Amino acid sequence: MKTTLESPTAKVGRPYRTADDLEAFDAVVIGSGMGSLTAAGVLARAGKRVLVLERHYTPGGFTHVFKRPGCEWDVGLHYVGQLFQRDDMMAGLFDYVTQGGVEWAPMDPVYDRIICQGESYDLVAGKESLADSLKGSFPADARAIDRYLDLLYRCPSSSTPYFMEKALPGWLAAVVGPLLRYPFLRYAKRTTYDTLRRLTTNEKLIGVLTAQYGDYGLPPRQSSFGVHAMVARHYLEGAAYPVGGASRIAAAIHRTIESAGGQLLVRAEVRRIVTENGRAVGVEMADGRLIRAPRVISGTGIRPTTSRLLAPDDAARLGFVDKLERIGPSCTMLCLFVALDGADEEFGIPKTNLWVHDGFDHDASVERYLADSGKPFPLVYLSFQSAKDPSFAERYPNTSAVQVLAPANYGWFDKWEATDWHRRGEAYEAWKHQFTERLLGVLHQQMPATRGRVKHAELGTPLSIRHFANHPKGETYGLAHTPERFALRALRPQARIPGLYFTGVDVSLCGIAGAMVGGYLTASAVLGKNAMAAASR
């Protein structure tokens, strides 16, 4: 998977206002996140002409890059797993839709380091290595650790028919769906905590095994074990990072889309999905322009689509809007983008992610904090882009890029909902400053050499996510990954409205890889065949 990197200033997509040839597309895709781009790219490889519409000034969703003079940060991609093992299909899925346009750099064998109350635990690549590491810390729980790691293989293995059922035609899914969904739902209908509590009574071990819950947004008593197992297994054999940053993914898929006559337009805001005689026939843009296509694919999230883009009567026809409200949105986050004055070596910055926890009982820590912002952060995640990307030092010499993330409560910020980005007022900036200083304190505590070396620090809040991603509550992972979410059959690509499709994390699961799989499922539903089969050849 090697490519010659294009110029970092290369533009991806063109402004909507310059486009005048917006006819004869096979599909219109709303949004340009990983799910949308994948669906469009796979359809392009099948010879379809696709139009992708992005309301932001840059495409890519959570794969886009945030830049300031002298530094840049990926906003959502921190690592990707299942790329280097012979039996892993993730590499093939990326390669197919990017046409080999992304090079991946492996991270350190210790991909995640868990720090709970000052105690450190390493998650080491490889099942046996991880087992040895965990048993070294919890020797009395050796059998429970073996059983847990076995579940991390058995549960994801059972998920293939569950996810492929989503792409089947409605009539066929109604017949064979229960049989295909049952094996995975045996795991997914239980919470992560309930599942692990059956293996061990050691709460400290449970806290360590679930310490990556920030990757899917819910602590163990709330999350589905299905998502926990899928995410933990995803990284079990190690992780990698795209050389040149996550924006290389969008750039490569853009070329795939254009190769089939498609287009990607930015600053292209969709006002609504247009239906005629009960069928989706196109979209109406914010300027009133109607763009017709026989298929409309929404990658903005199922909940935002039903509440913002569909007329109330059309949304009601879907038959599950009330159930979406019961599931609710996923978590939202604070993200501090930090540039340090110096190279990684000066600060001892690793390729390893750090998960710094307030304690081992994650549910209790989250509950205390979300009720009172002054309580300690339940989790702070530190990611070091400049160390993971071997091209970073060449592009930004003597600079280190760090991201410091923590959970947030959207209610702490909703009073500023009606204000404009960068114009929210002094009170908002003061509120942000408090969080910025606290997050910098965690960075300095973990890496004392960074004190006095911060040359830029800028905080993204839930309102930033709402502004750029158009997620109503600043949600990071779409719908919450609860057991109820996985039991809801309606979360599938093809809507009850003919011609309308969904894509992204809501039809699959969270993360860049999950959104990409969602894109493949949507393309499979549109094409009427298994689109992943071509990628695995």
Last residue of a domain, one of 210, 237, 264: 237
The token duo for 515 is: 């959104």
Geometric angle at alpha carbon 306, from 304 and 308, rounded to 5°: 60
pLDDT of the residue at 421: 84
- Predicted local confidence at residue 537, as pLDDT: 61
CA proximity to 323, closest of 500, 502, 486, 504:
486
pLDDT of residue 154: 97
* Judgement on whether residues 144 and 96 belong to the same structural domain of the protein: no
Q: Is position 507 within any domain?
A: yes
pLDDT score recorded for residue 536: 74
| Same domain flag for 172 and 150 | yes
- CATH number, domain of 521, equals 3.50.50.60
Cβ atoms within 10 Å, residue 425: 10
Say what the pTM is.
0.95
Q: Which residues of 195-230 are buried (b: 16+ CB within 10 A; e: fewer)?
A: bbbebbebebbbbbbbbbbbbbbbbbbbbbbbbbbb
Among 440, 469, 498, the domain boundary falls at 469
185 assigned to some structural domain? yes
Q: Do 217 and 265 belong to one domain?
A: no
Domain hosting 81: range is 24-102+243-327+478-535
* SS3 category, 479: strand
Q: Is 537:527 a contact under the CB 8 Å cutoff? A: no
Residues 409 and 343 in one domain: yes
Domain end (from 237, 263, 286):
237
522 DSSP 8-state letter: H
Question: Which helix or strand (DSSP H or E) is residue 72 part of?
Answer: strand 71-74
The residues that bridge with 124 in the sheet, in sequence order, are 110
Same domain, 436 and 483: no
Query: Which DSSP letter does residue 305 get?
Result: I
Residues of the chain with pLDDT under 70: 1-10, 86-87, 537
Residue 10 lies in a domain: no
- Tracing tokens 């089939």 back to the chain, one arrives at 260
Q: For 307, which DSSP code?
A: I
**In whole angstroms, what is the distance from residue 300 CA to residue 29 CA?**
9
- Whether residue 393 contacts residue 343, with contact meaning beta carbons closer than 8 Å, is answered with yes
In the chain, how many domains are there? 3
Same-domain check for residues 129 and 186: yes
Map tokens 């909940």 to a residue. 303
Q: Do 364 and 422 sit in the same domain of this protein?
A: yes
Pairing of strands 296-298, 27-30: parallel
13 in a domain, yes or no?
no
Q: Which residue has the tokens 């009172």?
A: 372
- Backbone dihedral angles phi then psi of residue 335, each to the nearest 5 degrees: -135, 115
Check whether residue 228 and residue 320 sit in a common domain.
no
- Bridge partners, residue 334, by sequence: 406
62 and 86 housed in the same domain = yes
Q: Are residues 71 and 160 in the same domain?
A: no
Torsion angle (degrees, nearest 10) of CA 365, 80, 530, 266: 90
Q: Are residues 347 and 392 in the same domain?
A: yes
pLDDT, one tens digit per residue, over 351-407 is 999 999 999 999 999 999 999 999 999 999 999 999 999 999 999 999 999 999 999
Same domain flag for 231 and 310:
no
